[in-house]
Amino acid sequence: MSMVVFLTLSINYIYDLLQSPILLGIGFAVFSAGVVAYRVATFNDCVDASEELKQQIREAKNDLKTKGFEFSS
């Protein structure tokens, strides 16, 4: 008797079981898109780091010029 009930429940929920990986994938994709959108929206500007990097680039170019390297631009 319990086997009949188990098989009946299994047949009733077989489509739910087959769809669950697809639904989990869609849920994961929506969650991932939400995380990326949140991170992009709350991304802060790093003005100090930008200026420091520009200064380091200028120093590197000057150092290379003293060693004979020529820049095209």
Query: Domain residue spans in the chain?
Result: 2-66
* CB-based contact 48:58 (threshold 8 Å): no
Please give the average per-residue pLDDT across 20-31, as a whole number: 96
- Distance separating alpha carbons of residues 73 and 66, to the nearest angstrom: 17
What digits encode the pLDDT tens for the residues 38-51? 999 998 888 899 99
pTM of the model: 0.53
| Most confident of the following: 10-19, 23-32, 41-50, 64-73 | 23-32
Residue linked to tokens 């010029």? 65
Q: What is d(CA 18, CA 67) in angstroms, rounded to the nearest whole number? A: 67
More confident residue, 12 or 52: 52
